């Protein structure tokens, strides 16, 4: 279809449809149509611009417009004001207005715009289409990927769940297996323990067997080698056990052996071992002994316990036994030798009348027998009141006057021989007899001292205490009772302790000494200088007297060291406000020397041996008589001389 506008030739887009000319005052002086001549345009800005020399155009859409060719309608008109000059660059003489119909141009622009818009829209549409395609495609890809991802995750989750389930199942399986294993181990351990127990114990009595005993003896020997203590192996054989088996049967015999095992254990300490070797043979291992005599005591205790008939299956059966003893290190330094020697000694035990014990070593046998005999005699002597006290004077060095007496225990034998305390006190101490014996000494000494008060008011008595006595928890009560029963003033009793007793069991010691001190009793340290040489206890404990040991006094005057020691002890005692007694003074030179050191009291053969109570009373009487005679002489001397 041909468009009139598009069909126009180039340059024919503008067509002058009307012209007008204005004078300098804006009045229309020419127009292409007669109308509108003299129309005033002076106020029109474009006119004014042209008047000023410029070219001005204005676009005016017109609905209806008169032109050369008559009226035209719906046109866009461009009116251009042009200055008119007579000469180029001369003054403007008029303004010419040309009306161009630019409608085709405008239409072309509109058409071009439309095409452009359509083009743009087409491009946008295309772009949209492309983008839409891309986005759709991408969306599809993403959705696919998302779905794949989801599926993948789901698969992973399922795999994880499956794995977890399997792990749980496996863990449960393992736990079950572990439990089974533990149970098996426990059962095996119990079985092992049972086996080990059976391998090391006697099934009938539950006592260790030979193997375990061997181990224990070796261990005890190793400990003994380190500590220097002894060890005893006791071989015990029941007397006439075969008769029980033969007459009452093996079941009764077994029960008797079980009863014997129980009785043996009752005689032992926790660290001892009793073993059964088989048949009616038992072995007891006693480690950590100070002396072989301790083994003899245990053997005696066992024999006494076994001698009591046992009630077995309605029968009262004797279980008397013989015991042989081997001691480490004297009779062997290994388990095998000790057991063999103990076994050898059994022959002697059976031979010497059964129901007794024998040491492998003959000398030891002798010593232990002597000791046991002493113990038995001591017990009897105590029961029969055979002991006596002797009294040794404690003398004032300056005045020579008796100040007190030390009570010393004596044991008169049937041949009138007096057994020295040095021989029997250790046995009494070991056997525990010292406790009743010491109590007797205390009571007797208090009684005697009170009896002597009439002759010598204020006379003191010193009593020795043994370590075992000192450890008795009722010591204070015993002392108090002895004083009370005798009616003796507490300050007239002095208890003699050794340094060793004060050093051991320090806490109990403080308590006991405190209680004795509170009672009013005096305390002396006997044999001072021979024990543990810590002087701090002199400050800690309520001590009244130091008794310098005889060993320092013996060579006084001859040995400069002894003199220095005694001199220092005396000075220290005086510094601490303690009395000093020098023990074992046997000569006048010793006494003289002690006097020069200002020693307070002396005790020794030079001033009087230990003597029976009667002798001591006589000595007191003599001293009183001498004092009376001296008083009478003084009084006589003071009498006025009669006038001749
Ligand atoms: P002790 O308590 O140091 O007694 C002093 C000992 O020295 C006594 O010996 C005494 O006879 C002796 N003696 C005294 N003066 C002299 C002297 O000038 N020269 C010599 N060579 N010796 C002298 P005894 O009576 O044989 O007592 C020995 C130890 O036995 C006492 O030593 C004491 O520790 C203990 N003892 C005595 N009687 C008892 C007691 O009843 N109970 C306790 N637990 N032990 C006692
Ligand atoms: Mg003494
Ligand atoms: Mg002494």
Question: How is 396-463 classified by DSSP, letter by letter?
Answer: ETTT--EEEEEEEEEEE-TTSPEEPHHHHHHHHHHHTTHHHHHHHHHHHHHHHHHHHTTTSTT-EEEE
Residue with tokens 């008109």: 77
Which residues contact residue 25 at a Cβ distance below 8 angstroms, ignoring those fewer than 6 apart?
40, 42
Q: Give, using CA atoms, the residue closest to atom 45 of ligand 1.
A: 464
Q: How far apart are CA 465 and CA 480, in angstroms?
A: 15
What is the chain's percent helix, strand, coil content, to nearest 5?
50, 25, 25
376: CA distance to ligand 2 center in Å? 26
Give me the residues paired with residue 18 across strands: 99
Give the SS3 label for residue 395. Answer: strand
In short, whether 247's Cβ falls inside 6 Å of ligand 1 is: no
State which fold the 373-622 domain adopts: TIM Barrel (3.20.20)
The best mutation among 406, 421, 479, 501 to test binding of ligand 1, ranked by most ligand atoms within 8 Å of the C-beta, falls on 421
Q: How far apart are CA 76 and CA 110, in angstroms?
A: 12
In the prediction, which pLDDT does 259 show?
Answer: 93
Which residues contact residue 487 at a Cβ distance below 8 angstroms, ignoring those fewer than 6 apart?
450
In the prediction, which pLDDT does 4 show?
Answer: 42
Q: Are 339 and 217 in contact (CB under 8 A)?
A: yes
Tens digit of each residue's pLDDT (9 = 90 or more) over 542-582: 999 999 999 999 998 888 899 999 999 999 999 999 999 99
Dihedral over Cα of 276, 279, 280, 283: its sign? negative
Q: How far apart are CA 539 and CA 510, in angstroms?
A: 11
Burial tier of 449 (Cβ tally within 10 Å: 0-12, 13-18, 19+): buried
- The token pair that represents 262 in the structure block: 């129980």
Give the SS3 label for residue 358. Answer: strand
In short, whether 420's Cβ falls inside 6 Å of ligand 1 is: yes
- Nearest ligand 1 atom to the CA of 434 is 44
Show me where the domains of the chain are located.
Answer: 15-101, 210-360, 373-622
Mode of pairing for the β-strands spanning 70-85 and 281-289: unpaired
Going by CATH, does the domain composed of 210-360 fall within 3.40.50.720? no
Number of other CB atoms surrounding residue 518 within 10 Å: 11
In the prediction, which pLDDT does 56 show?
Answer: 85
Q: How far apart are CA 546 and CA 572, in angstroms?
A: 10
Query: Which CATH number does the domain 15-101 belong to among 3.20.20.70, 3.50.50.60, 3.30.450.20, 3.40.640.10?
Result: 3.30.450.20
Q: How far apart are CA 8 and CA 31, in angstroms?
A: 27
Q: Give, using CA atoms, the residue closest to atom 21 of ligand 1.
A: 584
Residue with tokens 């075992």: 468
Q: Are 568 and 587 in contact (CB under 8 A)?
A: no
Q: Are 200 and 208 in contact (CB under 8 A)?
A: yes
Cβ-count burial 462-494 (b if 16+ within 10 Å, e if not): bbbbbebbbbbeebbebbbebbeebebebebbb
Residues of the chain with pLDDT under 70: 1-14, 33-38, 62-63, 65, 67-69, 364-365, 504-506, 532-534, 633-644
Q: How far apart are CA 113 and CA 119, in angstroms?
A: 9
């Amino acid at each position: 279809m041909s468009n009139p506008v598009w069909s126009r030739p180039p340059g024919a887009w503008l067509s002058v449809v009307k012209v007008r000319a204005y004078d300098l005052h804006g009045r229309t002086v020419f127009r292409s149509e007669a109308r509108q001549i003299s129309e005033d345009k002076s106020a029109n800005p474009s006119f004014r611009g042209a008047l000023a020399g410029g070219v001005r155009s204005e676009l005016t859409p017109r609905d209806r417009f008169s032109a050369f060719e008559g009226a035209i309608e719906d046109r866009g008109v461009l009116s251009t004001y042009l200055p008119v000059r007579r000469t180029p660059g001369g003054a403007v003489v008029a303004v010419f207005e040309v009306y161009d119909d630019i409608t085709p141009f405008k239409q072309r622009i509109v058409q071009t715009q439309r095409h452009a818009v359509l083009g743009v829209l087409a491009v946008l549409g295309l772009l949209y289409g492309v983008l839409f395609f891309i986005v759709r495609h991408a969306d599809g890809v993403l959705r696919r990927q998302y779905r794949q991802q989801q599926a993948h995750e789901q698969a992973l989750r399922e795999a994880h769940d499956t794995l977890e389930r399997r792990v749980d199942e496996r863990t449960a399986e393992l736990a079950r297996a572990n439990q089974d294993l533990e149970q098996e181990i426990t059962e095996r351990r119990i079985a092992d323990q049972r086996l080990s127990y059976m391998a090391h114990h006697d099934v009938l009595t539950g006592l260790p067997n030979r193997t375990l005993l061997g181990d224990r003896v070796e261990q005890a020997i190793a400990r003994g080698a380190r500590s220097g203590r002894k060890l005893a192996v006791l071989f015990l054989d029941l007397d006439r056990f075969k008769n029980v088996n033969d007459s009452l049967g093996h079941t009764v015999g077994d029960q008797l052996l079980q009863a014997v095992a129980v009785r043996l254990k009752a005689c032992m300490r926790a660290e001892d071992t009793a073993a059964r070797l088989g048949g009616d043979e038992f072995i007891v291992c006693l480690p950590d002994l100070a002396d072989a005599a301790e083994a003899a005591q245990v053997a005696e205790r066992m024999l006494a316990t076994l001698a009591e008939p046992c009630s077995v299956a309605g029968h009262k059966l004797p279980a008397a036994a013989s015991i042989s003893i081997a001691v480490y290190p004297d009779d062997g330094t290994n388990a095998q030798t000790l057991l063999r020697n103990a076994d050898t000694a059994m022959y002697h035990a059976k031979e010497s009348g059964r129901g007794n014990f024998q040491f492998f070593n003959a000398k030891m046998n002798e010593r232990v027998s002597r000791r046991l005999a002493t113990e038995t005699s001591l017990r009897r002597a105590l029961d029969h009141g055979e002991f006596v006290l002797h009294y040794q004077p404690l003398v004032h060095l300056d005045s020579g006057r008796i100040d007190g007496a030390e009570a010393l225990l004596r044991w008169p034998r049937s041949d009138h021989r007096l057994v020295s305390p040095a021989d029997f006190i250790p046995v009494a101490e070991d056997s525990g007899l010292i406790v009743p014996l010491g109590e007797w000494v205390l009571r007797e000494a208090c009684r005697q001292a009170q009896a002597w008060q009439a002759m010598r008011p204020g006379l003191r008595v010193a009593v020795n205490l043994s370590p075992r006595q000192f450890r008795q928890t009722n010591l204070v009560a015993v002392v108090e009772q002895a004083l009370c029963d005798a009616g003796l003033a507490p300050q007239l009793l002095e208890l003699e302790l050794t340094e060793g007793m004060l050093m051991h069991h320090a806490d109990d010691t403080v308590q006991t000494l405190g209680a004795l001190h509170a009672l009013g009793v005096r305390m002396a340290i006997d044999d001072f200088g021979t024990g543990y040489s810590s002087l701090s206890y002199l400050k800690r404990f309520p001590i009244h007297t130091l008794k310098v040991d005889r060993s320092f006094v013996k060579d006084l005057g001859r040995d400069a060291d002894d003199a220095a020691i005694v001199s220092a002890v005396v000075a220290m005692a005086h510094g601490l406000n303690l009395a000093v007694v020098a023990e074992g003074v046997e000569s006048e030179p010793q006494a003289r020397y002690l006097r020069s050191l200002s020693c307070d009291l002396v005790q020794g053969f030079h001033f009087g041996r230990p003597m029976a109570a009667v002798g001591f009373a006589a000595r007191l009487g003599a001293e009183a008589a001498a004092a009376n005679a001296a008083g009478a002489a003084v009084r006589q001397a003071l009498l006025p001389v009669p006038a001749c």
